Structure 1
């Protein structure tokens, strides 16, 4: 019996040329989404009360892991801290996903709605909407307050979502997704992490793999038309966006909310070589991609080094 699933018709219309190459990528992503997607409303256990015997994230990813302060904390304090840090990362993810959705919508505005590329873009936006709701519910279940980026970061994000286009938009999307992807792959496999957070991370990793593929493809495609000046300007813009995103992931308020001395925690987190090393290792593949795209210019490298991404 034939399947009743309706797929977008991206075959060339009579007299038309073959679909562009980007439609091939987009159609594969649409097929993947049709085969493997999740509904967080039913997949995540929202009903079971929070079990405080678990961490909110792998301890090794805590900004204080390996510091003198970390060694002084009780196991309960460490778990409380990682729960607040996980909630902060989730809240930052919501902030950037809202930026991402607006940039993608602006990019496809007035494009051919019958194309697979257009329909994939809307599919990605739909997945990002579900992710944002999932992250919001997860942060609330972790018992954390609403963490928001610093006002300067919020205003820079407002400008970026309005002005960024082409490779600047898609490469910045890729940076945010890649950094989250590596840490969440660790968290979803870690039995020390509270089960509902592991489920959230698994959903996000599976579905974001499609988004990262699309962002890489779009970045390469847009750069194919870029001259040296445009490439250098956008390399700089992408690096600044990356710096703002990464440095906004853990809100400084997590320490006080976890019952720690905020001033001391901030100082030790800033000097924590272990966490810097974790960030650099998580971004090695991303940096290789940016290098291959010739986006690691000297001015850009300054910001990647400041953010401990390289």
Structure 2
């Protein structure tokens, strides 16, 4: 499949995404009502996405604890989003370094970086508004991520980007539709979903273009690399300290979350389109699949 003469499919996709961005983009500084008070009973997540929903511990919790937990969970997810968006920006900048500035691919890549800067500020302000401190991945993960942002290239870089965006997308779509979730979260989710849909299309186009030139060994290596990135993203989404903030016994809560079949099912369902795409690109090998199964994406 090819685009117009002399243009790649990625170039055609990028041109359409640039047109979309010019017509439908948001400024969180004005789109979000930052001064509106937060209702005490407003959840941070659609409750079904809480790591404890469906467990015996959830049934024992007060509604106040559930609200507190979902607010800390969503802020942990937002904090992880900021962390990975900073990595994403470096990956894209390195990939586009000294590219043809006249191409739509280069121009959309910079548009994406500008979007990510606004999203990170939006998430930071949302957490501040909810009175929740920044949560960070474990120190080992932070240091290992330095390798990715320094050396990640081609389909591994865009595969990691796609994993992070796809997982957040399904959670935020549910938040947008769920009564009882804070308007603050519903609005920031709507902005992120609309703009990240373009980023995901761009990442998919880049992956298709890169793997088309890849041999079996490179595909096998890249599949494993993307799966490892996915493992660290998924295991970093909800910081273990959120349970203590909700007044829960941390060890008991961690055990309940790790064995929560409802949440595992939600993750597999939400990850299905991503797994299907990776499979069509030859990036869902047996070793990679084993890693996805460990974090319940398969």
TM class by smaller structure: over 0.9
Match for residue 97 of structure 2?
109
Is the deviation greater in 275-284 or in 253-262? Answer: 253-262
Match for residue 141 of structure 1?
129
Match among 141, 165, 172 for residue 153 of structure 1 = 141
3-state secondary structure, aligned to 2:19: helix
User: How far, CA to CA, are the matches of 1:171 and 1:251 in structure 2?
Assistant: 23
1:23, distance to aligned residue in structure 2 (A): 1.6
3-state secondary structure, aligned to 2:254: helix
3-state secondary structure, aligned to 1:296: coil
User: How far, CA to CA, are the matches of 1:107 and 1:277 in structure 2?
Assistant: 35
Render the CA deviation track for 1:69-120: whole Å, top value 9, x for unaligned.
Answer: 1000011110110000000000000011001000000000000111111100
Match for residue 8 of structure 1?
none
User: How far, CA to CA, are the matches of 2:130 and 2:70 in structure 1?
Assistant: 10
CA contact (8 A) 2:166 2:200 kept: yes
User: How far, CA to CA, are the matches of 1:265 and 1:297 in structure 2?
Assistant: 33
3-state secondary structure, aligned to 1:283: helix
Match among 279, 287, 295 for residue 291 of structure 1 = 279
Taking structure 1 as the reference length, the TM-score comes to 0.93
User: How far, CA to CA, are the matches of 1:232 and 1:50 in structure 2?
Assistant: 48
Structure 2 matches for 1:50-129, cutoff 5 A?
50-129=38-117
User: How far, CA to CA, are the matches of 1:216 and 1:285 in structure 2?
Assistant: 12
Match for residue 240 of structure 2?
252
3-state secondary structure, aligned to 2:256: helix
Structure 2 matches for 1:225-236, cutoff 5 A?
225-236=213-224
3-state secondary structure, aligned to 2:213: coil
Match among 265, 268, 279 for residue 280 of structure 1 = 268
Match for residue 4 of structure 1?
none
Structure 2 matches for 1:158-173, cutoff 5 A?
158-173=146-161
Match among 230, 255, 275 for residue 242 of structure 1 = 230
CA contact (8 A) 2:9 2:205 kept: no
Is 2:293 the counterpart of 1:305?
yes
Is 2:133 the counterpart of 1:176?
no
Taking structure 2 as the reference length, the TM-score comes to 0.97
Match among 12, 24, 38 for residue 36 of structure 1 = 24
1:285, distance to aligned residue in structure 2 (A): 0.5
1:152, distance to aligned residue in structure 2 (A): 1.1
Task: State how many pairs are aligned.
Answer: 295
Match for residue 192 of structure 2?
204
CA contact (8 A) 2:77 2:237 kept: yes
User: How far, CA to CA, are the matches of 1:308 and 1:21 in structure 2?
Assistant: 33
1:19, distance to aligned residue in structure 2 (A): 3.5
Render the CA deviation track for 1:256-279: whole Å, top value 9, x for unaligned.
Answer: 112111111011111111001100
3-state secondary structure, aligned to 1:49: coil
User: How far, CA to CA, are the matches of 2:66 and 2:162 in structure 1?
Assistant: 31
Render the CA deviation track for 1:211-235: whole Å, top value 9, x for unaligned.
Answer: 0000000001000000001000111
1:21, distance to aligned residue in structure 2 (A): 3.1
Unaligned runs of 5+ in 1: 1-11
